[in-house]
Chains A and B, each alone.
Chain A
Amino acid sequence: MKIKVKVNQVDKVFDVQAHEYLLDVLRKNDYVSVRRACDNTSCGVCTILLDDKPVPSCSLLAIKADGHHVTTVEGIQAEAEKIGHYFGQEGADQCGYCNPSMALTVYALKLENPKATDQEIKEYLVGNLCRCTGYVAQHEAIRKYLGDQS
């Protein structure tokens, strides 16, 4: 069946099957920044923004995205660059596999709660796992990004 989705501000029509998850549909259509790390909503790596809210795409049936606006990191390049800058300054990137989805979630946090406290940052991002960095560097970078008003 066909679904209409706005992906990164561009209107798209995808031919999907009823049981297909959005993650697979996006990857098939070359949005490779969205990646898989688990299969059951417990790692956050497949995060996309659905109408600006972070959701795991590995368990969102593609048909549910019909009529909605999907954002991948390709759609927030300027913000991702900014976040990436702070990540680089703090050494918060190692293998990087968690990074695009992290950028999306951090960006969504900024939209929702730009003055987030340390605890709020941690709670908002608790579903975004990272096995490499030990989190502290990311936390520093995220705090600096949220404080950046430019």
Chain B
Amino acid sequence: MKVVNHKTPSIDGLGIIKGRKAYTDDYAEKDSLIVKVLRSPHAFAKIISIDDSKAKKLDGIEMVLTHKDFKRIPFTRAGQGYPEPSPHDKFVLDEFVRYIGDEVLAVVGVSNEVCEKALNLIDVKYEVFEPILDYEKAKNHHTIIHPEEEIHQMFDIGFNPKANIAASYHMEIGDVEKSLSECTYTIHETFYTQAQAHVMLEPHTVNARMDYQNRLVIYSSTQTPFHVRRIIGHALEIPMSKIRVIKPRVGGGFGGKQAIHGEMLVAYVTFKTGKACKMTYTRKEVFESSYTRHPMRLEMRLGADKNKKLKVIDCHVLSDTGAYGEHALTVYMVAGSKVLPLYNKVDSVRFYGDVVYTNHTPAGAYRGYGAIQGNFALESAIDILCKKMEIDPIEFRQKNMMKENETSPIFAIMGEGTEGTAMMMDTCKLEECVIKGKELIGWDNIYPYHDNGEYIESVGMAIAMQGSGIPLIDMGSASIKLNDDGFYNLMVGATEIGQGSDTVLSQIAAEVLMTDVEKVIIYSSDTDLTPFDVGAYASSTTFVSGNAVYKAAKELKNEMLKEAARIFNTDISNIDFDGQIFTYNEKEMSLKDFSNQITYSHEQKQLQVTSSYVGPKSPPPFMAGFVKIAVDKDTFEIRVLDYVSVVDCGTTINPMLAKRQVDGAIVQGLGMAMFEEVKYSKNGRLISNDLLNYKIPTRLDIENLNTVFVDSYEESGPFGAKSVGEIGIDTPPAALANAVENALGVRVKSLPITPEKIMKLMKEKSNEKK
């Protein structure tokens, strides 16, 4: 391979670092109207009255929008395929507000200043209700967060709003209770994972204008431009043919930009007034009023027989979706479906529980998407079981984990929101990942710990799997056209959000067409111009959109050969093409001549093809993560000395970009493992609402990352590739918890793993001894 599996620098990095216009707000029209939202000061209330008369009189205020301006059409902002597996429980504006930061109304004015002034002049009276701020008490609480009649599910997701349940799920293979009763070793532990904030550096941003054809053109920092078009069309009753969504460069998404945020209001204002307008979230709004990761309580029971074979996994999970049910069911199911098959030699597995509404900032999609929550619980529990059985945790995993050419019945049962699809692990190099990681971290020299005087050094590990798109649901497509002079345009609906997809997809096309990346000019994500793609989520782009590009490039090549055969007046099978020259016997024709000829001289035509791909399966990437830490003996502060990630993501299309994507995911996972935490006050106000109070890792927190790939080739992927976007985030929490227990003999079961929690456990431990 000449282009694929080579370290091509990203095709757009240079232009961006040099400061060219790139991101959504850079494209806002000068003098756009500004849209600002008044946000609820109450965790749960009904709007009784709104006095906006003073605000409306202000010079420069164009309009004030309240729930009375919108027809009551329930929808979900989740940004998923159709029909969505999330409840339609949201209105553009509603007379109820369900968390502090929820939208009350919007003002539209000529400047930020006048909008702020207007917001201060508006008097809203509320009837305040008792909120639910503890998700463990939400089910069947006397407060009902969504009492409205119009809301509904699109198909059965266990939606039961009268009990504050956004979704629920139950599956069982075998007989868990019976299997447990037959086990020699069992454990029963409960784990908690916290809400995490995405903190993509570019805040949610959108702007719109009417074009000269009187169509609504929206620039949005989104991961899902096609879904944005559909959802806006539905909720505002604007014909979809009148809407064009363009996604410029996105400054990070991590799932947070899968959903609709300011798009709805901006679209409405521009469509209504004909004037350009824009909305940019402040950082405070990003924290309080966009999304978090779903917090979960995961109750795990494991059982093993006398030979230390894992026999049962029982998993009871409660998830907090906050005020709205975006991704409620699907994140929940992934906590099982992309975690439990890791140990596929069990007799029985159960996964069940509810996703409840609370009066918190809504939870939504976030890299790792349930898998990181499930992984923390399962991979912590496995180590606890190993301690009980006195077996080396790596040896135990090697004995019990998923191997190549094996499968798990879970794949067929659990999909994302619907039934799953059975599949074999045609590639699974987990065994190599574990062996290599063990060696690279120097496991045998340290395990379980090494006392360094002031510090204790220790190691911990966890294994993980993810998916590559949602089988039979996620669709991507690509068009490729040959231009005169012999270069190509690649049009994809796939959404570059910083993960490098434009580069990787160009590499795939260039490899098939035997040309250089520079000769493939990519254009992505414009709903008018590029073919459909579900968007950047579910680790789907390289695999799903990549396969579409691969198919399209093959077809175009075939078209080109057909035309060359016509010109040479022979059969297609007699033609050779090396990317530059067509050869037939002694005769040669350069690609440049060929493309000029069919553009300008003989039997002219435009060669262009479009192909689509939907995966019949979702081959999981696998990884083993190993952490080496130093724990201060007095303060219990943890320094991460090294993180070794050994990844099987098939053959990497761009080994360098893949490596760095894993690096970034590891650091995000470490942030969640060590200190990131969305915190609320007693009345439900989000306290960690800026970057001073919500800490993400800085470069001083990271010492060494060692990300490597094992040799692997996935037959169903483009050039052997599987996905790599999310897998990196999954292992840090459990690996770190395991390392802490190896160092100190205490087990932190709730994230983040802070010195305070460790100290408390150490005190309890020493009291027990006394």
Report which A residues bind B (CB closer than 8 A). Answer: 27, 32-33, 35-40, 42-43, 45, 72-74, 77, 80-81, 83-85, 87-100, 102-103, 122-123, 125-139
**Contact yes or no, A93 B699, CB < 8 A:** no
Find out whether the CB atom of A134 lies under 8 angstroms from the CB atom of B663.
Answer: yes
Given contacts A89-B9, A95-B202, contact A134 B664 (CB under 8 A): yes
Interface code B355-369, partner A: CB below 8 Å = 1, 0 otherwise? 000000000000000
> Is B171 engaged at the interface, CB distance under 8 Å to the other chain?
no
Number of interface residues of B (CB under 8 A): 58
CA distance A99 to B18 in the complex (A): 8
| Cβ-defined contact, A38 with B690, below 8 A | yes
State the CA gap A72–B498 with chains docked (Å).
22
Q: How far is the CA of A139 from the CA of B9 in the complex (A)?
A: 16
Contact check, B9 vs A91: say whether CB atoms are below 8 A apart.
Answer: yes
- Interface assignment of B203: CB less than 8 Å from any CB of chain A: yes
A145 to chain B, nearest CB (A): 11
User: B284, B498, B702: which contacts A95 (Cβ < 8 A)?
Assistant: B498
Q: Is the interface of A mostly helix, strand, loop or mixed?
A: loop
Q: B498 and A88: CB pair below 8 A?
A: no
**B621 contacts the other chain (CB 8 A):** no
B497 within 8 A of A: yes
Is B696 in contact with A131, judged by CB distance below 8 angstroms? yes
- Tell me whether B620 is interfacial, beta carbon within 8 Å: no
B668 CB contacts on chain A under 8 angstroms: 131, 134
A residues near B282, Cβ cutoff 8 Å: 39
> Whose C-beta in chain B lies nearest to the C-beta of A72?
B19
Report the minimal beta-carbon distance from A1 to chain B, rounded to whole angstroms: 16
Q: Chain B: which residue is nearest A132 at the CB level?
A: B664
Given A96-B12, A129-B691, do A91 and B660 touch, yes or no (CB 8 Å)?
A: yes
CB of B415 closer than 8 Å to a CB of A? no
Q: Does B251 contact A (CB under 8 A)?
A: yes
Docked-complex contact A129 and B10, CB < 8 angstroms: no
Q: Name 21 interchain pairs, CB-CB below 8 A, sorted by A.
A: A32-B21, A37-B202, A39-B283, A80-B17, A81-B18, A88-B13, A91-B660, A94-B500, A95-B251, A95-B252, A96-B498, A97-B202, A97-B252, A99-B17, A100-B17, A132-B252, A134-B665, A134-B705, A135-B667, A135-B697, A137-B660
A45–B23 Cα distance when bound, in Å, is 13
Question: B323 contacts the other chain (Cβ, under 8 Å)?
Answer: no
Determine if B201 and A37 form an interchain contact, defined as CB atoms under 8 angstroms apart.
yes
A91 contacts across to B, CB distance below 8 A: 7, 9-10, 656-657, 659-660
Q: Are A126 and B700 in contact (CB under 8 A)?
A: yes
Q: In whole angstroms, what is the CA distance A129 to B697 when docked?
A: 8
Closest to A17 in B: B113
Q: Given A38-B690, A135-B698, 7 other A-B contacts at CB below 8 A?
A: A73-B17, A90-B656, A95-B252, A95-B498, A131-B252, A131-B668, A132-B252
Task: Determine if B123 is an interface residue (Cβ-Cβ < 8 Å).
Answer: no
Chain B residues, Cβ within 8 Å of A103 = 17-18
Query: CB distance B17 to A83 under 8 Å?
Result: yes
In this complex, what residue of A is CB-closest to B254? A131
Q: Which of A83, A84, A122, A131 contacts B201 (CB 8 A)?
A: A131
Which residues, 325 to 381 on B, are CB-close (under 8 Å) to A? none
- State in angstroms the CA–CA spacing of A93 and B7 once bound together: 13
Q: Which residues of B contact A33 (CB under 8 A)?
A: 18-20
User: Counting CB contacts under 8 A, is B1 at the interface?
Assistant: no
Residue of B nearest to A128 (CB): B699
Return the contact of B702 from the options A83, A102, A134 (Cβ within 8 A).
A134
B117 to chain A, nearest CB (A): 12
A105 CB to closest chain B CB (Å) equals 12
State whether B23 touches A35 (Cβ < 8 A).
Answer: yes
Determine if A35 and B14 form an interchain contact, defined as CB atoms under 8 angstroms apart. Answer: no
B666 within 8 A of A: yes
Q: Is there an interface contact between B252 and A134, defined as CB atoms closer than 8 Å? A: no
Contact bitstring B645-673, A, C-beta under 8 A = 1, else 0: 00000000000110111011111100000
Rounded to whole angstroms, the CA-CA distance of A48 and B374 in the bound complex is 43
Q: Are A96 and B666 in contact (CB under 8 A)?
A: no
Q: Tell me, rounded to whole Å, the shortest Cβ–Cβ distance linking A35 to chain B.
A: 7
Q: Chain B: which residue is nearest A98 at the CB level?
A: B201
B16–A136 CB distance below 8 A: no
Instruction: Give, as a whole number of angstroms, the nearest-CB distance from B603 to chain A.
Output: 42
Which of these, A90, A93, A134, contacts B17 with CB under 8 Å?
Answer: A93
A129 touches B201 (CB 8 A): yes
Indicate if the CB atoms of A88 and B14 lie closer than 8 Å. Answer: yes
Say whether B26 faces chain A, with CB atoms less than 8 Å apart: yes
CB contact between B16 and one of A39, A99, A123 (< 8 Å): that residue: A99
B22 interface residue (CB < 8 Å to A): yes
Q: Are B18 and A45 in contact (CB under 8 A)?
A: no
Complexed CA–CA distance, A129 and B26 (Å): 21
Question: With A95-B249, A96-B249 in contact, is A38–B283 under 8 Å at CB?
Answer: yes
Q: Which of A45, A99, A131 has the most CB of B within 10 A?
A: A131
| Of the residues A43, A85, A125, A132, contact of B14 by C-beta under 8 Å | A85
Cα distance, A45 to B16, chains bound together (Å): 13
Q: In the complex, which of the residues A40, A100, A135 contacts B18, with contact meaning CB atoms closer than 8 Å?
A: A100
Q: How far is the CB of A24 from chain B (nearest CB, A)?
A: 8
Of all chain B residues, which has the CB nearest A31?
Answer: B19
**Residues of chain A with a CB closer than 8 A to B220's CB:** none
Q: How far is the CB of A59 from chain B (nearest CB, A)?
A: 12
Known contacts A83-B17, A131-B199: A97-B23 contact under CB 8 Å? yes
Task: Name B695's closest neighbour in chain A (CB-CB).
Answer: A42
Of B7, B17, B690, which one neighbours A40 at CB under 8 angstroms? B690
Interface presence of B465 (CB below 8 A):
no
Q: Which residues of B contact A83 (CB under 8 A)?
A: 17
Q: Could you say which residues of chain A place their CB within 8 Å of the CB of B280?
A: 36
Contacting residues of chain B (248-267) with chain A, CB-CB under 8 angstroms: 249-254
A38 CA to B286 CA in the complex, in Å?
10
- A32-B18 contact in complex given A94-B664, A133-B663, A135-B667, C-beta closer than 8 Å: no
State in angstroms the CA–CA spacing of A127 and B695 once bound together: 12
CB distance from B10 to the nearest CB of A (A): 6
Shortest C-beta distance, A103 to chain B (Å), equals 5
Q: How far is the CB of B585 from chain A (nearest CB, A)?
A: 43
* Nearest-Cβ distance from residue A43 to partner chain B, whole angstroms: 6
Bound form: Cα–Cα A81–B250 in Å? 21
Q: Considering the chains assembled together, what is the distance between the CA atoms of A33 and B657 in angstroms? A: 24
* Residues of chain B from 196 to 229 with CB closer than 8 A to chain A in the complex: 198-203
Is B499 part of the contact surface with A, judged by Cβ < 8 Å? yes
Neighbour of B660 across the interface among A37, A85, A92, CB < 8 A:
A92
In whole angstroms, how far apart are the Cα atoms of A144 and B40 in the complex? 50
CB pair B202 A35 closer than 8 Å? yes
B10–A88 touching, CB < 8 Å = yes
Interfacial chain B residues near A129, Cβ < 8 Å: 201, 691, 696, 698
- Contact between B699 and A96 (Cβ–Cβ < 8 Å)? no
- The answer to whether A87 and B17 touch (CB under 8 A), given A95-B249, A97-B251, is yes
B102 to chain A: closest CB distance in Å?
Answer: 21
Once the chains are docked, how many angstroms separate the CA of A96 from the CA of B26? Answer: 14
